[in-house]
Amino acid sequence: MIERIPFGRTGHLSSRIIFGAAALGAMKPERAIATLDMILERGLNHIDTAASYGDSELRLAPWLKTHRSDVFLATKTGERTEEGAWAQFNRSLERLQVDQVDLIQMHNLVKPDEWDTAMGAHGALKALTRARDEGLVRFIGVTGHGTYVAAAHLKSLEAFPFDSVLCPYNYTMNRSGPYAESFERLYRLCQERGVAMQTIKAIAARRWQDADEEKRYSWYRPIRDPEVLQRAVHYTLARTGLFLNSTSDATLLPALLDAAEAPLQIPADSDMAADVEALGIEPLFVRDQTDDVING
């Protein structure tokens, strides 16, 4: 069974693997239901979706009619203004066919100008706190990608008591000096304040290259070798309090869950370095080069 730990100060005992519902975005309805049934059987009780994840919210809706109480439900808004975020959040409630979600997150809030708008007098945060005050959502979080995200989250946490954050965490990202330093500062602050810390890209290998011939179910090439994948998963789970959001490549979901259920073995740095060399693993984000490029 997947381990469960407190999701920050929310009071929810969450599975350490959070189902990344971007995987449902392009699925047929029947496959989406089967996938959701499977994750519930495997012990996952936390689902993370977003308004921008294709048909993900729509695929969740029929399943939630009978399983809403079984899961902690999170979605996201990418809008930066109060008016835009309020409209998009309510559209998410309609698409999900629920009266309340557990967590609403400001999606990829990293760029300074967008941060200023979202956190300003008429910004998205105003809409999300209104939604919380009206009982439409219980908690508010912030997410992001790239090498500046940890620093951005530190700034966000100083401005508002967010309940959760989300950012990349894997071996190659942690070898980047500036990112690793800001991530450690963020990690310590979250531990001190009881802020839930979600991580993404645990099993990312590198960006796709023109010569890659395999089918592409996510915007990056994932790790598929079972032993290497397990080490990558355990690298994240070895860190106290971290949650791992699953990949949008649903074909790898069973292997990821198998890895998470296996007895934890903290991987040696030499093994992780050997995996990087053998598989040509590279950081997805390189400072000031690919920070803003997701699908490139």
Model confidence pLDDT, tens digit, residues 8-41: 999 999 999 999 999 999 999 999 999 999 999 9
Q: Residue 32's domain is classified under what CATH number?
A: 3.20.20.100
Please state whether the predicted TM-score (pTM) of the whole model is above 0.85. yes
Model confidence pLDDT, tens digit, residues 159-210: 999 999 999 999 999 987 899 999 999 999 999 999 999 999 999 999 999 8
Structural domain boundaries, residue 60 = 4-279
User: 289 in a domain, yes or no?
Assistant: no
User: 284 in a domain, yes or no?
Assistant: no
Output the pLDDT for position 250: 94
Q: What is the 3-state secondary structure (H, E, C) of the chain?
A: CCCEEECCCCCCEEECEEEEHHHHCCCCHHHHHHHHHHHHHCCCCEEECCCCCCCHHHHHHHHHHHHHHHCEEEEEECCCEHHHHHHHHHHHHHHHCCCCEEEEEECCCCCHHHHHHHCCCCEHHHHHHHHHHCCCEEEEEEECCCCCHHHHHHHHHHHCCCCEEEEECCCCHHHCHHHHHHHHHHHHHHHHHCCEEEEECCCEEEECCCCCCCCCCCCEEECCCHHHHHHHHHHHHCCCCEEEECCCCHHHHHHHHHHHHCCCCCCCHHHHHHHHHHHCCCCCCCCCCCCCCCCC
Query: Residue 295 pLDDT > 60, yes or no?
Result: no
How many domains does one find in the chain? 1
**Mean pLDDT confidence for 128-150:** 97
User: 285 in a domain, yes or no?
Assistant: no
User: 288 in a domain, yes or no?
Assistant: no
User: 291 in a domain, yes or no?
Assistant: no
User: 11 in a domain, yes or no?
Assistant: yes
User: 286 in a domain, yes or no?
Assistant: no
User: 218 in a domain, yes or no?
Assistant: yes
**Mean pLDDT confidence for 56-75:** 98
Phi, psi torsion values for 80, nearest 5 degrees = -110, -20
**Residue with more model confidence, 140 or 177:** 140
Output the pLDDT for position 296: 38
